[in-house]
Structure 1
Amino acid sequence: MLTLTATPAQGVEPAVHGEGPTWDAARRELVWVDIDRGQVRRATVSPAGVVAEVGVHRGGATVGFVVPASDGGWVLGADGGFTHLSPDGGATVLLDLPDEGPAAGTRMNDGAVDPVGRVFGGTMGFDERPGAGSLYRVDLDGSVHTVLTGLTISNGIEWTADSRTVYLADSGAAQIRAYDYDVAAGSFGDTRVFLDLSDDDGPPDGLTMDDEDHVWVALWGAGQVRRYSPAGELVAVVRVTAVNTSSCAFAGPSLDHLVISTSTQGLTDVPPDAGRLFVVRPGVTGRPAGVYRGPLTGLRLA
């Protein structure tokens, strides 16, 4: 098994609750969120893996994820719904989900774009209560659908290269499940447990996939990111000097650097590296984030 150590990015200030690094290929930028500050943050990543922050935008009271949009801006999972962040940083709410948000005790958490340009975004309870989380899909016609209910902390989501399988982490259940995926309909089918980490060092949080269809997943509270084969075999571990590893993504011009987000959440004595981004070159490459290709006005519940 390969063991690597990531180094903290020095050109970036720590986040309170860093999450969701995403490589925006069109802008050649890394974007990620500071959930508790409601911020979207942007940085360049050099061929040598040097991260340099270039902008910060306000997206809501809380922002769970950011993904690129076809207009050069971004779609956010913010507060209890979906928000558009324009290329110049202006935030416009697209849809408040009626059963989500502060009044319901929930917020948007992680999300991603599927192979044809739909946005998937999940939710969780502020108190992390079992069953409070759901997964939603924004279709290319602007209609919004409930895909799954009864989750606890809907987290990392990603698709295999052939689009036939989608992986979804539920941190509350400490599992990553694999679902059959109908890419034409955007629907989830039969499911199985890909990884059960309930007796491990920490639950699965955000995840990504590399060009060999291996899953890279951050383990919350474990200070590490792991690489698993399609068969579920552990093949690599990346050590991080910050205990709350929250997510990861391949970034940089060649997509050959793994960027890892971390958080200070729940820490009484916050160590110096908590909340920082970390970088490692793992010897494999990844894929850029999908781009949302639906409308940026008029989202509606199906």
Structure 2
Amino acid sequence: MTAEIPFVRPEWHCMTTQADVLGESPFWHPQEKCLYWVDIPGRRLRRMKVSSDLSQSHAVEDWPLQEEPGCFAPASKGGWVMALRSGIYRAREWGGALELLAAAPYDTSKLRFNDGKCDPAGYFWSGTMYEPRDQAAGVLYALQANHALQSKADQATVANGLAWSPNGKTMYWSDTGAHCIRAWDFDVTSQQMTHERVFAQFPAKPKDWIYGSDVAQSYAGRPDGAAVDAEGFYYAAMYEGHRLAKIAPDGRCVAYIETPVQCPTMPCFGGEDLRTLFITTSAHGRSTAELQALPQSGCVFAMRVDTPGLLVSFFNN
């Protein structure tokens, strides 16, 4: 008989007043003391200065774009690298010109870049999602020093959950549609991925899932974006599950952490001590009943935690 997974109900603070359609890809910039994230269907990058008092109001700056951003990361030489539907771009200043580094290697009418971040060596990775969602056509790419995109893994419908262990020797990647998180042994210098295995597998979504029903209450959700803390625990946002899953390095789910809305999308650690856990969330495609019951869907939330997270990895060129 397996032990029941503890369900933790922490105190969350709502950090934004204007909801995203679908918030994703948050990261903490330690020098700027800013939280950055994207609103994918809203076609904008967002950022806000965060004070130590999470309960106070925080002003948000927006950067409108011409297409959907999947993810982005800060660059060591200033500015950002970002994955848009049409390719990987470099920007030197907020709201500034975009320099194309690599065109999208796929049919942009059916695929787009989704979740991604830089590895511990500073190379930018991003996975794709197949928008018809009827086949596992998503691929994980790593941008090389010559700006070539190298395919690293495939067989995903919706690429998500990219993260590395604190020592950089384990890489995680999930397919949200398959409810599965995979792991590999990882060599930071060569980008070599070996010993692929299933890190965590969650039950499929019930066909009769309806918000507020008993069936919905029993569904744990499916793994979306993720972050790793300093002890190596992997925090997966469980989309439609109203929770984060805290997973030990050996793949055991040790706790569920209740979220304020049904659809968390990605966590990240930040704050001066990296002990503030932020989550982005989604209002995209949610029912009227759900949005009436959970009107802050799409907002960014934050809570304090005991174990710090890892610093964001900066793009290396």
Q: TM-score when scaled to structure 2?
A: 0.87
Computing the radius of gyration from Cα coordinates, the structure with the larger value is 2
Q: How does 1:201-280 map to 2 (within 5 A)?
A: 201-269=220-288, 270=291, 271-280=294-303
Q: How does 1:1-302 map to 2 (within 5 A)?
A: 1=6, 3-50=8-55, 52-92=58-98, 93-102=100-109, 105-199=110-204, 201-269=220-288, 270=291, 271-294=294-317
Q: Residue 8 of structure 1: CA displacement?
A: 4.0
Q: TM-score when scaled to structure 1?
A: 0.91
Q: Residue 268 of structure 1: CA displacement?
A: 2.4
Q: How many residues align?
A: 292
Aligned CA distance change for structure 1 residues 189 and 80 (closer, same or farther; 3 Å):
farther
Helix, strand or coil for the counterpart of 1:155? strand
CA contact under 8 A between 1:6 and 1:239: conserved in structure 2? no
Query: Amino acid of the residue matched to residue 23 of structure 1?
Result: W
CA contact under 8 A between 2:130 and 2:158: conserved in structure 1? yes
Q: Deviations over 1:53-103 (max 9, x none)?
A: 34111244111112111232111111132122332322413322232422x
> Quick one: distance in 2 between partners of 1:2 and 1:194?
21
Helix, strand or coil for the counterpart of 1:146? strand
Q: Residue 126 of structure 1: CA displacement?
A: 1.7
> Quick one: distance in 2 between partners of 1:205 and 1:26?
27
CA contact under 8 A between 1:45 and 1:251: conserved in structure 2? no
Query: Amino acid of the residue matched to residue 296 of structure 2?
Result: D
> Quick one: distance in 2 between partners of 1:38 and 1:11?
17
Query: Amino acid of the residue matched to residue 66 of structure 1?
Result: F
Q: Residue 288 of structure 1: CA displacement?
A: 1.8
Gaps of 5+ in 1: 295-302
Helix, strand or coil for the counterpart of 2:273? coil
Query: Amino acid of the residue matched to residue 114 of structure 1?
Result: D
Q: Which residue of 2 aligns with 1:300?
A: none
CA-based RMSD = 1.7
CA contact under 8 A between 1:169 and 1:177: conserved in structure 2? yes
CA contact under 8 A between 1:6 and 1:278: conserved in structure 2? no
CA contact under 8 A between 1:9 and 1:278: conserved in structure 2? yes
CA contact under 8 A between 1:173 and 1:198: conserved in structure 2? no
> Quick one: distance in 2 between partners of 1:264 and 1:21?
16
Which stretch has the larger CA shift, 141-150 or 120-129? 141-150
Q: Residue 49 of structure 1: CA displacement?
A: 3.0
Query: Amino acid of the residue matched to residue 96 of structure 1?
Result: A
Query: Amino acid of the residue matched to residue 274 of structure 1?
Result: S
Query: Amino acid of the residue matched to residue 95 of structure 1?
Result: A
Q: Residue 11 of structure 1: CA displacement?
A: 4.0
